[in-house]
Amino acid sequence: MHEYSLALSLLESLRARLAEDPVRGRVKKVHLRQGELLVLSREALREAWSLVTEGTELAGSELAIETVPVRVRCLACGYGGDAKYLAAEGWHVRVPVLSCPRCDARVEIVEGRDLAVVALTVEERVETG
């Protein structure tokens, strides 16, 4: 299960970061950016996250996932921007075309294939006293 190993990797990196720079309170939400080319089941990733965080300081937190569209850079004409997409009525997905929208040459992918933690929502502890 690809999503389980991703959830475990996210947990390990977040716990290491939180050990360096602890938060005051409980992490309620982990905000992710998922590149459009990274094929994964969000439902399976959320389920895996729930499993791997049990018993940790991130238990009970949820994943908020934002999709990052594919951005490309043309090696021939210098175009930089959004990829063009194939989409037709009745298709369930848009498919990025990995050639230049301007000159049709080969492109390199600049954005749209990574999974990254971008923020945390933390419920601060109220100190009584």
The dotted CATH code for 2-68+112-123 is 3.30.2320.50
Six-digit token pair at 73?
Answer: 């850079």
Enumerate residues 6+ apart whose C-beta is below 8 A from 129: none
Which helix (H) or strand (E) covers residue 31, if one does?
strand 26-35
pLDDT tens profile 45-78: 999 999 999 999 999 999 999 999 999 999 999 9
Predicted TM-score of the model (pTM) = 0.82
pLDDT score recorded for residue 59: 96
Please state the domain extents for the chain: 2-68+112-123, 71-108
Instruction: Please state the three-class secondary structure of 36-55 as a single string.
Output: CCCCCCHHHHHHHHHHHHCC
